[in-house]
Amino acid sequence: MEKNRKVISSAEYVSDRSSLSRDSVFIAIFGALWGLVEITLGVVIKGTRLPMGGAFLAVLCSIIFLNGRFFVRRRGSILMMGGIAATLKIFSVGTVIAGPFIAILIESLIAEALVSFLGVHRFSYVITANALSVYTILHPFISQGIIFGENIYKIYLETFQKITQLLQLDFSYLIWIILIYVFLHLILGTASGWFAYSLALRVKKEFPINFN
C-alpha cells in the first residue's frame, strides 16, 4: 500500500515539474511578445501621436497577455509576463525610462489582480481590458503626480478652466467631452477583451492540449 502511495507521489511530482516547465515556457513566450509590441508599435504610436494611441497599445498588449493567462492557470503569471516585457523595454532603449517601465508593471498588476479575483472567463477579460484602457487616461496624471507632486493637479485644473473661458464654454461641457472620451475607451476595451477570450478558445480548439 505504501509502495503504491510512493509511486503515485512520484508521478504527481513529475507531472507538477512538467506543468511548471510548460508554464514557464508560455510565460516567457507571451512576455516576450508583449515586450516586442511595446518596443515596436509603442515607438510608432508615440512618434505619430495617434489619438487614443496609448489605449490601442494597451488593449493590443492585453490580448497577448490575457491569452497567456488563459493557458497558464497560475496566479502571478501576468506579473511575470509584465516583468519580462518591462525588462525588454529597458534594454531596447539602453537605459531606464521610468514612465514606460512603471506603466507596464502597473498594467500587469491591475490585470493580475482582476483576473485572479474574477477568474478566467469572458466577463473577467472584458472587465480587465476595460480597466487597462481607462487606465491609459489616468496614467499620465498618476506618473506626473508622483514625479512633480500634487501641485501638478492644480495646474491641470487651472488649464481646463482657461480652456473653457477661451472657448466660452461652460465647464459642464468639458465634463461631457471627458465622459465621451472615456466611453470610447470602454468600447475599445470591451471589444478587445471579448476578442482575447474568443481567440484563446479558438487556439485551444485548434490545439486540444490540457492547459489547466
> Could you give the 3-state DSSP secondary structure of residue 86?
helix
Round to whole Å and give the CA distance between 135 and 54. Answer: 10
User: What's the Rg (C-alpha) of the chain?
Assistant: 21
Residue 134 lies in a domain: yes
Range of the domain at 84: 2-206
- Domain total of the chain: 1
* 22-61 per-position pLDDT tens digit: 888 999 999 999 999 988 887 788 777 777 888 899 999 9
Give the residue-averaged pLDDT of 170-175: 71
Asked if residue 16 is part of any domain, the answer here is: yes
For residue 24, is it within any domain? yes
211 in a structural domain: no
Share the mean pLDDT of the chain.
Answer: 81
The answer to the question of residue 195 being in a domain is yes
The contacts of residue 130 (CB under 8 Å, 6+ apart) are 185, 186, 189, 190, 193
pLDDT of residue 151: 63
Q: Tell me the whole-structure pTM to 2 decimals.
A: 0.79
Does residue 135 lie in a domain region?
A: yes
Collect all residues with Cβ–Cβ distance below 8 Å to 204 and sequence separation of at least 6. Answer: 70, 71, 211
Q: Is 144 helix (H, G, I), strand (E, B) or coil?
A: helix
pLDDT top residue among 204 and 166 = 204
Q: Is the pLDDT of residue 80 over 90?
A: yes
Q: What is the mean pLDDT of residues 183-205?
A: 94
121-163 pLDDT, tens digit each: 999 999 999 999 999 888 777 666 555 556 666 666 666 667 6
**Do the domain assignments include residue 54?**
yes
